[in-house]
A and B are shown apart, each in its own frame.
Chain A
Amino acid sequence: MSTVHATRSAGTRVFDVAAIRREFPILSRTVNGRPLVYLDNAATSQKPRAVIDALRAYYEEINANIHRGVHWLSQRATDKYEAARESARRFINAGSVEEIVFVRGTTEAINLVAQTYGRTRINEGDEIVISHLEHHSNIVPWQMLCAERKATLRVVPINDAGEFQFDAYANLLNERTRLVAVSHVSNALGSINPVREIIALARSRGIPVLLDGAQAVPHLKVDVRDLGADFYTFSGHKMYGPTGIGVLYGRTEWLEALPPWQGGGDMILSVSFDGTTYNKPPFKFEAGTPNIEGGIGLGAAIEWIEGVGLDNVAAHEHELLEYGTRALRKIEGLNLIGTARQKAGVLSFTLDAIHPHDIGTILDQAGIAIRTGHHCAQPVMDRFNVPATARASLAVYNTTADIDALVEGLDQVVRMFR
């Protein structure tokens, strides 16, 4: 296996999955005496050396609180943290760093919008549109908001392939619709939603759109301005970065118009007992000492992905998805759940008469990590009339050998239950 580090014009390396794997220390470990086969990337991805080193370097070299110290360390930490914000801006092509709010993750980003936009713009009788594909994090905040504001949640159906039904969506929009909140890529099934068209239609009717991009940004190039999204949300840990850090992108006009969320330090310009003036975006939404190491780690993850090249990531994962789909379809009694024509690297399935939980335990003994359960998307499970599925989800470091190991493991499951 040759290690190739020739550079391309775009500054990305020639794609070499073996070299990429060597950058992930955890991938060389064994689990239950077998080499780890990690196929639970939609839950969280593993971290490359570059990200782990960035976290260590932060604590070993520049640890300090940010945004207010005049001392050298504080300035270095602030610079590094704010450089990560610029990396995040570049990553999704936002217009300015003021549009990048650091949050704990996608869940917090959605809750932030639900509480700021929701509490000031949603009133009795108004409607919010989501889809049947959503993760609980893009369902429950809106249910809570609707209960509080006496608004109604409308759900766009999906078909048997797990595809967003656009005509039904168009019919759901009306003069009471105040927000559309949909996933860019489904976590349970991998379906890629037609978000450009979803946004174009909503915005032509003056309705803002929030996209849950948690499962999109690790796998495909996202350009929020090209999409025209009002809000875009994602998490660091599913894209090779640390847990506890994520991004809320909001168009400048929204972030300026919306009220602050949590109150505290950093989100103010001045405080007195007569009144307080708030900081400008994004700081207006970032009360308290933030997750500094997380921000810096996210910045390192973004730079790492840019080095590999998202086009390379997408092409590699697409090839693996096709390989895996063909391989799984050959297994007798296996039902793929989610067969959308536009799909990211998720293989969700059931095996006749074998519960996903049993599949997961048997695979685990072979060192293979997959997710079993409802994937925080119970409405999707109900739609397909299953209590749970087994889900293998791909990342850039997976190989056809990982898929082969999965297939071999599933053969063993079937033999065991025969």
Chain B
Amino acid sequence: MNDLRELYQEFILDHYKKPRNYHAMPDATAHADGYNPLCGDKVKVHLKVADGIVTDVAFEGSGCAISTASASTMTEALKGKPLAEVRALFEAFHEMLTSPEPTVDPASLGKLAVFGGVREFPVRVKCATLAWHTMKAALDNSNNPVSTE
């Protein structure tokens, strides 16, 4: 029960109900599509990168509370960050959720640390990481849609 409260805490529900940076971006410099066939979640991530800095991020799509809140929080976290830092955040977030023994300090992740509770729900980890994988695919300029499977 406590795990559940941790998973569906106020912060996450707020980002689910009022996702930030949820819109199209016609002048984006990179896009990617992500899909989780397990639950049908779809996400589209838009990035605007200039001089090695992510100047704008947005997303669209439909998904569960975890995937939507994760995408929303990610867009806030990445805006204004240099690419190297963005990639480091991806690695840290991924490690926090998937490593058997994560060494990442949650404090270094700021608000993103609220997703740490998803670890206790292994089938939901893909929900939390979908937007991040999609963002990374956009950075890597991959034209293939990302699937969590």
Interface membership of A417, Cβ < 8 A: yes
Interface membership of B112, Cβ < 8 A: no
Which residues 27-44 of B sit at the A interface, judged by CB distance below 8 A? 38-42
Report A-chain residues with C-beta under 8 Å of the C-beta of B66.
357-358
- Flag A373-396 by CB within 8 Å of B: 1 or 0 each: 110001001000001100000000
**Count the A residues whose beta carbon is within 8 Å of the partner chain — how many?**
18
The distance from the CB of B148 to the nearest CB of chain A, in whole angstroms, is: 12
Report B-chain residues with C-beta under 8 Å of the C-beta of A361.
4, 7, 121, 123-124
Report A-chain residues with C-beta under 8 Å of the C-beta of B13.
416-417
Contact (A358, B40) CB under 8 Å given A353-B17, A365-B1, A365-B3: no
Interface membership of A176, Cβ < 8 A: no
Establish whether residues B7 and A387, one from each chain, have CB atoms under 8 Å apart when the complex forms: no
Report A-chain residues with C-beta under 8 Å of the C-beta of B65.
354-355, 358, 417
- Flag A360-373 by CB within 8 Å of B: 1 or 0 each: 01100100000011
Interface membership of A345, Cβ < 8 A: no
Establish whether residues A416 and B38, one from each chain, have CB atoms under 8 Å apart when the complex forms: no
Chain B: interface size category: 20 to 34
Interface membership of A356, Cβ < 8 A: yes
Expressed in whole angstroms, the Cα–Cα distance for A356 and B4 within the complex equals 16
Establish whether residues A372 and B4, one from each chain, have CB atoms under 8 Å apart when the complex forms: no
Q: Of the candidates A358, A378, A381, A388, which one forms a contact with B8 in the assembled complex, judged by CB atoms under 8 Å apart?
A: A358
Establish whether residues B64 and A357, one from each chain, have CB atoms under 8 Å apart when the complex forms: yes
Establish whether residues A355 and B38, one from each chain, have CB atoms under 8 Å apart when the complex forms: no
Expressed in whole angstroms, the Cα–Cα distance for A194 and B129 within the complex equals 44
Expressed in whole angstroms, the Cα–Cα distance for A378 and B121 within the complex equals 25
Q: Of the candidates B1, B3, B39, which one forms a contact with A373 in the assembled complex, judged by CB atoms under 8 Å apart?
A: B39
The distance from the CB of B126 to the nearest CB of chain A, in whole angstroms, is: 10
Expressed in whole angstroms, the Cα–Cα distance for A357 and B40 within the complex equals 10
Q: Of the candidates A353, A365, A388, which one forms a contact with B40 in the assembled complex, judged by CB atoms under 8 Å apart?
A: A388
- Flag B110-149 by CB within 8 Å of A: 1 or 0 each: 0000000000010110010000000000000000000000
The distance from the CB of B43 to the nearest CB of chain A, in whole angstroms, is: 12
Establish whether residues B8 and A387, one from each chain, have CB atoms under 8 Å apart when the complex forms: no
Establish whether residues B4 and A358, one from each chain, have CB atoms under 8 Å apart when the complex forms: no
The distance from the CB of A34 to the nearest CB of chain B, in whole angstroms, is: 10
Chain B residue with the shortest CB-CB distance to A381: B40
The distance from the CB of B149 to the nearest CB of chain A, in whole angstroms, is: 13
4 smallest A-B Cβ distances: which pairs? A387-B40, A355-B64, A357-B64, A357-B39
Q: Could you list which residues of chain A lie within 8 angstroms of chain B, going by C-beta atoms?
A: 353-358, 361-362, 365, 372-374, 378, 381, 387-388, 416-417
Other A-B pairs, 12, CB within 8 Å; known A357-B66, A372-B39, A373-B38: A355-B64, A356-B39, A357-B39, A357-B124, A358-B66, A361-B7, A361-B121, A365-B1, A373-B39, A387-B41, A387-B62, A416-B4
Q: Could you list which residues of chain B lie within 8 angstroms of chain A, going by C-beta atoms?
A: 1, 3-4, 7-8, 13, 17, 38-42, 62-66, 121, 123-124, 127
- Enumerate 20 A-B pairs (CB-CB under 8 Å) in ascending A order: A353-B17, A357-B41, A357-B64, A357-B124, A358-B8, A358-B64, A358-B66, A361-B121, A361-B124, A365-B4, A372-B39, A373-B40, A381-B40, A387-B40, A387-B41, A387-B42, A388-B40, A416-B13, A417-B8, A417-B13
